[in-house]
């Protein structure tokens, strides 16, 4: 089996059997393509590859590309998945990637923005043009419903129930869930659907996508990331688009929402993933305590 056919069959497995997202599929295929090139360069047959050759590959990636522990862990995940596939295809006898230990990663809290900062960023988007009008609606919905970028990009017009203020989104592994959005997002959607989207779509609307680019096609994830980064820079913040989702979750917990409800709204498979936001809240409380009670803190430090 040549490399092209091998990657094609591995790609099909990732989607059909492992139910990976398209983004994960693309990352895994890119990683394994590099790994197969490494084997070819070193004249190592796939069936002869072992934990030593895999370690040498990861070391090469680190030395030449400077990949960090997080990227190394993703590479190991891709290798484990690939060798599971290769073993099932009778191309190898075992999975040497199972012997690899993922590097420990530094625990970092997700970046969040307070409500005033988010509102300032959204309010400063120039909505006079079609692009600005679309982006105002798009980012308002992402923030109001706590969407991932991929979920926002994949929304279709018929996924939105404006009167009910709900949307049907497709999350990781193509799992569908219902999310809620607020009054501001409702108003923006009404304006976008009645005026902006028809202008972007043109006379012949061939797309079922909710958010369109200037060519009348579905907006891409990269397009969303790029546009948000530009707006964030204009308002003096270096935040990333995913920060809106983090801010949504933290805001819910700050106002008394329970973890299970937040888990459902975010589409987290594991409650432990949602619990990170409780640590964010604690960090915010500590910072506010330090900032607004400096006298009390200085007394305690002397004590």
Active site residues: 148, 172, 242, 245, 268, 277
For residue 116, what are the CA distances in angstroms to 49, 100, 189? 55, 45, 21
Torsional sign, CA 68, 69, 72, 77:
negative
Long-range contacts of 159-168 (CB under 8 A, 24+ apart): 159/210, 160/189, 160/193, 160/210, 162/186, 162/189, 162/190, 162/193, 167/141
DSSP string, 71-130: HHHHHHHHHHHHHHHHHHTTS-SS-GGGG--PPP----PPP---HHHHHHHHHTS--SSH
What gap in Å lies between CA 231 and CA 243, rounded to an integer? 13
Query: 112 and 190 in contact (C-beta within 8 Å)?
Result: no
What's the distance, CA 233 to chain centroid? 20
Angle between helices 271-292 and 259-266 (to 10 degrees): 120
For 299, the token pair is: 């007394």
50 backbone dihedrals φ, ψ, rounded to 5°: -140, -175
What gap in Å lies between CA 173 and CA 170, rounded to an integer? 8
For 207, the token pair is: 């797309």
Write the burial class of residue 185 (CB in 10 Å: 0-12 exposed, 13-18 middle, 19+ buried). buried
For 134, the token pair is: 């679309």
Selection from 108, 193, 114 nearest residue 156 by Cα: 193
């Amino acid at each position: 089996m040549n490399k092209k056919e091998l990657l094609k069959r591995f790609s099909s497995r990732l989607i059909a059997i492992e139910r990976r997202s398209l983004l994960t599929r693309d990352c895994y295929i890119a990683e394994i393509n590099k790994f197969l090139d490494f084997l070819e360069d070193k004249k190592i047959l796939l069936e002869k590859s072992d934990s030593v050759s895999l370690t040498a590959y990861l070391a090469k990636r680190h030395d030449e590309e400077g990949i960090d522990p997080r990227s190394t862990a993703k590479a190991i995940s891709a290798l484990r998945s690939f060798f599971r596939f290769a073993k099932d295809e009778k191309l190898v006898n075992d999975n040497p990637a199972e012997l690899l230990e993922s590097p420990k990663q530094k625990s970092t809290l997700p970046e969040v923005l307070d409500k005033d900062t988010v509102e300032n960023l959204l309010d400063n988007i120039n909505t006079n043009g079609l692009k600005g009008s679309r982006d105002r609606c798009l980012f308002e919905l992402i923030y109001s419903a706590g969407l991932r970028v991929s979920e926002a990009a994949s929304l279709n017009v018929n996924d939105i129930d404006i009167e009910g203020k709900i949307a049907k989104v497709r999350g990781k592994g193509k799992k569908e869930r219902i999310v809620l959005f607020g009054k501001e997002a409702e108003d923006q959607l009404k304006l976008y659907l009645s005026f902006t989207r028809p202008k972007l779509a043109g006379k012949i609307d061939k797309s079922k996508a909710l958010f369109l680019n200037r060519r009348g096609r579905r907006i891409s994830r990269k397009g969303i990331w790029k546009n948000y980064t530009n707006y964030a820079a204009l308002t003096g913040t270096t935040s990333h688009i995913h920060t809106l989702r983090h801010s949504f979750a933290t805001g819910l917990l700050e106002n008394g929402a329970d973890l299970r409800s937040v888990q459902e709204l975010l589409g987290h498979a594991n409650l432990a993933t949602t619990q990170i936001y409780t640590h964010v809240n604690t960090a915010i409380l500590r910072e506010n305590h330090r900032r607004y009670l400096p006298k009390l803190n200085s007394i305690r430090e002397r004590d």
